[in-house]
Chain A
Amino acid sequence: MYAQMIDTGLTKVADTADMSDDERAFQARIDDDVRIEPKDWMPEAYRRTLIRQIQQHAHSEVVGMLPEGNWITRAPSLARKAILMAKVQDEAGHGLYLYCAAETLGVSREQMIEDLHAGKVKYSSIFNYPTLTWADIGAVGWLVDGAAIMNQIPLCRCSFGPYARAMIRICKEESFHQRQGFDVMMSLCRGTPEQKAMAQDALDRWWWPSLMMFGPPDAASVHSAHSAKWKIKRLSNDELRQRFVDQTVPQSDYLGLRIPDDDLAWNEDRGHYDFGAIDWSEFHEVLKGHGPCNRDRMRTRVNAWEDGAWVREAAVAHAQKRDARAKAAA
């Protein structure tokens, strides 16, 4: 998803007996589904975990603007150009809500951005894949926004109030994005043979990375138990992945496209689609920085930030001058 492999900094889930009074009271509120607000007492590990998760999510929204922004200047119709610009602008808005939610936990936006640029905090690996053709804009909306929604709808009930509220706003917009992406795919699939081939090629390249967005299999997820207990994460990686596959296969059939997985088949007994093994070595390599676009994405973000430094400094300097003049006049 947009926040993958969140390190809680803990190695095992504590028993109630080992908890302090504060911790027990905190856990009781969580168990009763009472939202935690920024001013409430919370365990340090809960705070740290949330800061990491929310900021990964925020960075993902912002870095995610780049692969799609890549086609704004080349969108093939004015209507599509307007939709794409508005979509990428929405992602900037998502980044902003999330930075604000993280700031309520006592970390500044500048600090978070510096941590991203220093490689201390990650963003979703999906954005390290390139958008090679216009059909990728369709596939990203359909699959990547689709997977993001799947992950994020449960987060609307996350125990931390500001994060849950940000997610409610974000999810509404993401579902538009997904429909718009599907609509791009649809127009390609109903178009010329070249357009249809473009759509199939995009699905071939985006399918597996989309499944990886849900994170490693549950058996290999060390930190999920805490996140579940704290109701930061409410469904497991594998549950979410299965839901995504079940939802997406009929859509792909409707488009007349073929999902690039020979093992994909409906399993009557389970009531779910079975699907093939995911190549986790690719996931881990991309996570380590070896994806096709890791360097480009970071370079673009760092350059944008550094090139904008004089603008931000000037804005601050001007505001100070204005204040000083107002004081002198008063």
Chain B
Amino acid sequence: MKLQLFDYLLRLADNDLVLAQRLGEWVGKGPVLEEDIASTNVGLDLLGQARLWLAYAGEVEARADAVGRSEDQLAFFRTDREFRNLLLVEQPNGHYGDTITRQYLFDQWHVLLLAELATSRDSRIAAIAAKALKEVRYHVERSSQWVIRLGDGTDVSHARMQAAVDALWMYTGEMFSVDETERALIDAGIAADNAALAAPWRAAVQSVFAEATLDVPADPWMQGARGRGGKQGVHTEHLSRMLAEMQALPRMYPEARW
């Protein structure tokens, strides 16, 4: 159970860390200064959440293993096959509409997940989730507003948003799949039941898309949803490249403290 908990905490941490890293790529290059600031805010929130999850993961690891890794050891010295984030969040930034779409699809799930986790039997998870939930409520508010603005903006923006939705949709199935690790933790009242998040997520997305004049795609073959996806460490090609950049310095100077 301890190793399953460790694995589950990495899933939570890595979603936040990988998406924060993607948002960090945007800094200084946003479409307008106010958005640069708002988007960096979201990145900073996610980075802060990642650190809380990683710190707890390290403690859980120490209990099981006697050697618990620090947040930086976990962030900078795991390979892509050891990362546990959803495929959705590692997708490249693309244009601003791609970034916003990725963000909204994730935020809408994240907010539901955290609301569940805030009642976890694991009090530490509940506390971190409650804190993160306050931030993520704002994230989904912002990203849904942008989906609406760009979806129901100009012809050009509408077409770009529909294309972004169509391209990213196949990564959404993974959010609602439940594997053995999660099953055990759900039964213990520790993890959230992803499958139960599907209906409220879909209802919320449908309502935002309706306002945005965007079509909800027909469900395609979902990537990574059958026990062989990001949560199990089987990623798209994009992650190892992203980590190569993120991890370069600590790996070049493994003795150094920064």
**B-contacting residues of A (Cβ < 8 Å)?**
62, 65-66, 69, 72-82, 85-86, 88-89, 92-93, 95-96, 99, 134, 184, 187-188, 191-192, 194-195, 300, 303-304, 307-315, 317-318, 321
Q: Point out the residues of chain A lying under 8 angstroms from B29, CB to CB.
A: 69, 300, 303-304, 307
Query: Whole-angstrom distance between the alpha carbons of A230 and B86 in the complex?
Result: 59
Known: A76-B258, A310-B154, A311-B31. Contact between A82 and B48, CB under 8 A? yes
Is B153 close to A, CB under 8 A?
Answer: yes
Q: Do A314 and B154 touch across chains, with their CB atoms under 8 A apart?
A: yes
Task: Kindly report which residue of chain B lies nearest to residue A303, judged by CB atoms.
Answer: B29
Which of B103-111, B117-125, B135-143, B244-252 makes up part of the contact surface?
B244-252
- Name the A residues within 8 Å of B150 (CB-CB): 311, 314-315, 318
Residues in chain B near residue A99, CB distance under 8 A: 33
The one of B21, B75, B96 that contacts A311, using a Cβ cutoff of 8 Å: B96
Q: Is the interface of B mostly helix, strand, loop or mixed?
A: helix
Contacts of B30 in A (CB 8 A): 304, 308
Q: How far apart are B38's CB and chain A's nearest CB, in angstroms?
A: 10
Instruction: Kindly identify which residue among A77, A310, A317 contacts B72, using a CB–CB cutoff of 8 Å.
Output: A77
Most chain A CB atoms below 10 A, which of B27, B44, B72: B27
Please provide the chain B residues from 237 to 258 with a CB less than 8 Å away from any CB of chain A in the complex. 245-246, 248-250, 253, 255-258
Cβ contact within 8 Å between B156 and A314:
yes
A78 with B258: CB separation less than 8 A = no
Q: Is B97 at the interface (CB under 8 A from chain A)? A: yes
Interface of A is mostly: helix
* Nearest opposing residue in chain B for A95, CB measure: B33
B40→A85 contact, CB < 8 A: yes
Complex CA distance for A313 and B48, rounded to whole angstroms: 33
A312 CB → nearest B CB, Å: 6
Complex-state Cα separation, A259 to B96, whole angstroms: 44
Beyond A78-B75, A85-B27, whether A307 also contacts B95 by CB under 8 A is yes
A74 and B25 alpha carbons, distance in the complex (Å): 10
Structural contact, B48 and A88, CB atoms closer than 8 A: no
Q: From the candidates A79, A96, A303, name the one contacting B37 in the complex (CB within 8 A).
A: A96
A-B contact pairs, 22 of them (CB 8 A): A65-B28, A66-B28, A69-B27, A72-B25, A73-B245, A76-B256, A77-B258, A78-B50, A78-B72, A88-B28, A95-B33, A134-B249, A134-B258, A300-B28, A304-B30, A307-B96, A310-B160, A311-B35, A311-B150, A315-B149, A315-B150, A317-B154
